[in-house]
C-alpha cells in the first residue's frame, strides 16, 4: 500500500510514499524507546529551550507549511498560516507552563511527608487526522514532550508530506534523535503499534469509527487512550440575540477549514421570533463566501480534503432532501473535491442532517418555538463536543450553557480551542482532555510518594 499526496483542488497526484514494513515499524519503536531512556531524565529547562526553538522554526517556515497543507488537503493558505501560528503558540504555552503544571503537589497525610509526583511513562502513539494536519499533532506533542514522554505519529494517509515535515521541525529544533518519529503507515498497521510493549498509551483525533477501533485495541492491551472524535455542535440563536453578529460569526463557525472541523457549528437552532431575519442574513453571508484555489490569498472556502469525503457529504445532503429537507443555498458538488457553502432548512429528526455529523460547509438550520425546545434539540444527539448560545441576556445564556451536554460551551462566541482551556468531548465525541493542565496530565504516571 502506498501513502498518496494528492491535490484535492485538481486531482493531481503530487507524490507517493511506500508504506513501511513491519520491521521498519518495530525498529523505529525500539529506537524511540531508546531515546526515551535519556529524554525522561532531561530537565524542564532543557525541554523548554527545545520546544521554544520548535516554535521559532514553525514561525519561520509558516508560508511553506501553509502551502504544503493547501496542496495536500486544500486548506486556504490564509487559514494555514493561522494554524501554524497556533502550533507555535501551543509550543510557547507548554514550554512556559509545563514545569509549574507538573510540579510535585505536597498533600498532608499521616506520613511525615507525602506528595504527588507526575512521572513520564514512555511512548505515546498519536493517530491523527488530515483536517488540521499540523495543529492536531502539536496539540498532542507539545505537552507530551514537555512531560518527558516521547511520541510516534501515525498521520492520516492523505497528508504524508505534512507528517514528514512535522518530524523535521523537531529535528531542526535540535531534539535528540528519535524523541519524536513519524511512522509512514496506513491504518492497517495501527493495531500492531498499540500491541508493542514499548508503546504505553494512544491518542486519536478523528471519526468515532476510527476511535472505537483504536480505543478497543488500547483497552484490550490495557493502555490508556484519549479520544477526540466528531461533533455535531449546536449554535443556538435566541430571539434577543445580536443577529448581525450571530449571522456573521455563524458563517465562520460553520465554514472554517472549508467546514471540516470537529468543533464547527453544524446545527443552527433558531428561535421562531427571529428565524426569518436570521436566515436571511446568514444566507447572504454564506452566499458571499469565495470558494476557489486554496493557494489564492482571497479564497475563503477550498476544496474538501478528499473527493470521497465530498461525495459522502453530498450523499448526506441528498439523503436529507429525500426525507423532506430543503436546500436554500448550494447543494451541488463542483469540480474535483469542491463543495459549495450550502444551507439546509426544514430539517427534522430521522434525517441524516439531524442525526449525523456533516463534515463540510453545509449548515443545518432548525426552527424551534422557544429556548426550551432549543435546548432539547441541542442535546438530542449522541455527540457532545462543543456548542454556542446567542442571547443578550448573559444570565439566561449561562444557564442554557450549563444544560448543554458537551465538553465546551460558548456564550455569544463560536466554539474554539485555546491552549489555556481544556478541549474534549462527552458521549460519542470521545473522552479525555487535551490542552491546559488537564491535557498534560493525561499520559503521566500520577505517582503517590509517602515518606514515613
CB of 106 to ligand NDP, least distance (A): 38
β-sheet bridge partners, residue 114? 450
Q: Is 291 helix (H, G, I), strand (E, B) or coil?
A: strand
Within 22-134, where are the H helices?
22-39, 44-60, 62-73, 77-101
Alpha-carbon span 87 to 139, nearest angstrom: 7
**Closest-approach residue to ligand NDP (CB):** 206
Alpha-carbon span 120 to 130, nearest angstrom: 28
Report the candidate in 57, 30, 46 with the shortest Cα–Cα distance to residue 152.
30
Alpha-carbon span 420 to 450, nearest angstrom: 31
* DSSP designation for 19: P
CB of 393 to ligand NDP, least distance (A): 32
CA 249 centroid distance within chain: 20
Catalytic residue from among 79, 228, 271, 442: 228
Q: Is 304 helix (H, G, I), strand (E, B) or coil?
A: coil
Query: Looking at beta carbons only, is 213 or 314 nearer to ligand NDP?
Result: 213
CB of 158 to ligand NDP, least distance (A): 6
CB of 387 to ligand NDP, least distance (A): 15
Q: Which residues contact 262 (CB under 8 A, 6 or more apart)?
A: 131, 205, 228, 229, 230, 231, 385, 429
For the question of residue 262 being annotated catalytic, the response is: yes
For the question of residue 335 being annotated catalytic, the response is: no
Catalytic residue from among 262, 271, 357, 442: 262
CB of 69 to ligand NDP, least distance (A): 14
Helix axes 394-403, 371-379, angle to 10 degrees: 30
Query: Looking at beta carbons only, is 2 or 322 nearer to ligand NDP?
Result: 2
Query: Looking at beta carbons only, is 152 or 274 nearer to ligand NDP?
Result: 152
Q: Is 324 helix (H, G, I), strand (E, B) or coil?
A: coil
CB of 259 to ligand NDP, least distance (A): 10
Query: Looking at beta carbons only, is 3 or 371 nearer to ligand NDP?
Result: 3
- Give the footprint of ligand NDP on this chain (CB under 6 A): 127-131, 154-157, 186-187, 190, 205-207, 210, 213-214, 228-230, 262, 309, 357, 359
β-sheet bridge partners, residue 278? none
Query: Looking at beta carbons only, is 148 or 330 nearer to ligand NDP?
Result: 330
* Positions of E strands within 223-373: 224-228, 233-237, 265-271, 326-329, 342-345, 362-368
Alpha-carbon span 433 to 47, nearest angstrom: 22
Alpha-carbon span 277 to 242, nearest angstrom: 11
Query: Looking at beta carbons only, is 72 or 357 nearer to ligand NDP?
Result: 357
Alpha-carbon span 385 to 378, nearest angstrom: 11
Query: Looking at beta carbons only, is 256 or 328 nearer to ligand NDP?
Result: 256
Q: Which residues contact 350 (CB under 8 A, 6 or more apart)?
A: 323
DSSP run (H or E) holding 286: helix 275-287
CB of 212 to ligand NDP, least distance (A): 8
Q: Report the catalytic residues.
A: 228, 262
Amino acid at each position: 500500500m502506498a501513502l498518496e499526496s494528492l491535490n484535492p483542488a485538481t486531482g493531481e497526484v503530487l507524490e507517493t510514499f511506500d508504506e513501511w514494513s513491519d520491521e521498519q515499524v518495530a525498529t523505529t519503536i525500539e529506537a524511540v524507546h531508546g531515546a526515551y531512556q535519556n529524554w525522561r531524565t532531561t530537565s524542564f529547562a532543557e525541554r523548554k529551550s527545545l520546544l521554544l526553538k520548535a516554535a521559532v522554526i514553525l514561525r519561520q517556515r509558516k508560508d511553506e507549511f501553509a502551502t504544503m497543507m493547501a496542496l495536500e488537503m486544500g486548506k486556504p493558505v490564509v487559514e494555514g498560516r493561522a494554524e501554524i501560528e497556533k502550533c507555535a503558540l501551543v509550543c510557547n504555552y507548554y514550554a512556559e507552563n509545563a514545569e509549574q503544571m507538573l510540579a510535585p503537589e505536597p498533600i498532608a497525610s499521616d506520613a511525615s511527608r507525602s506528595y504527588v509526583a507526575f512521572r513520564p511513562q514512555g511512548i505515546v502513539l498519536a493517530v491523527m487526522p488530515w483536517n488540521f494536519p499540523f495543529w492536531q499533532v502539536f496539540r498532542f506533542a507539545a505537552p507530551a514532550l514537555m512531560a518527558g514522554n516521547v511520541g510516534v505519529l501515525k498521520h492520516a494517509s492523505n497528508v504524508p508530506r505534512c507528517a514528514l515535515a512535522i518530524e523535521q521541525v523537531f529535528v531542526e529544533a535540535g531534539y535528540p534523535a528519535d524523541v519524536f518519529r513519524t511512522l509512514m503507515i496506513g491504518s492497517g498497521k495501527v493495531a500492531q503499534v498499540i500491541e508493542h510493549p514499548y508503546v504505553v498509551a494512544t491518542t486519536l483525533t478523528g471519526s468515532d469509527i476510527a476511535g472505537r477501533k483504536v480505543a478497543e485495541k488500547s483497552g484490550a492491551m490495557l493502555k490508556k487512550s484519549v479520544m477526540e472524535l466528531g461533533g455535531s455542535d449546536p449554535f443556538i440563536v435566541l430571539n434577543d440575540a445580536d443577529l448581525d453578529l450571530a449571522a456573521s460569526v455563524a458563517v465562520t463557525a460553520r465554514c472554517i477549514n472549508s467546514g471540516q472541523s470537529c468543533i464547527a457549528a453544524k446545527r443552527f437552532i433558531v428561535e421562531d421570533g427571529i428565524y426569518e431575519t436570521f436566515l436571511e442574513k446568514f444566507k447572504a453571508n454564506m452566499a458571499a463566501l469565495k470558494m476557489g484555489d486554496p493557494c489564492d490569498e482571497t479564497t475563503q472556502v477550498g476544496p474538501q480534503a478528499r473527493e470521497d469525503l465530498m461525495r459522502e457529504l453530498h450523499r448526506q445532503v441528498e439523503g436529507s432532501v429525500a426525507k423532506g429537507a430543503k436546500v436554500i443555498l448550494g447543494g451541488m458538488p463542483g469540480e474535483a473535491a469542491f463543495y459549495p457553502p450550502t444551507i439546509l432548512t426544514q430539517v427534522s429528526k430521522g434525517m441524516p442532517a439531524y442525526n449525523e455529523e456533516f463534515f463540510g460547509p453545509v449548515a443545518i438550520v432548525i426552527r424551534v418555538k422557544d429556548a426550551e425546545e432549543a435546548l432539547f434539540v441541542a442535546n438530542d444527539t449522541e455527540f457532545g463536543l462543543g456548542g454556542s448560545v446567542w442571547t443578550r441576556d448573559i444570565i439566561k445564556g449561562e444557564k442554557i450553557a450549563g444544560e448543554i451536554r458537551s465538553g465546551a460551551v460558548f456564550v455569544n462566541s463560536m466554539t474554539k480551542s485555546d491552549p489555556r482551556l481544556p478541549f474534549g468531548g462527552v458521549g460519542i465525541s470521545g473522552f479525555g482532555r487535551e490542552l491546559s493542565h488537564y491535557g498534560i496530565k493525561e499520559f503521566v504516571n500520577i505517582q503517590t510518594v509517602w515518606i514515613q
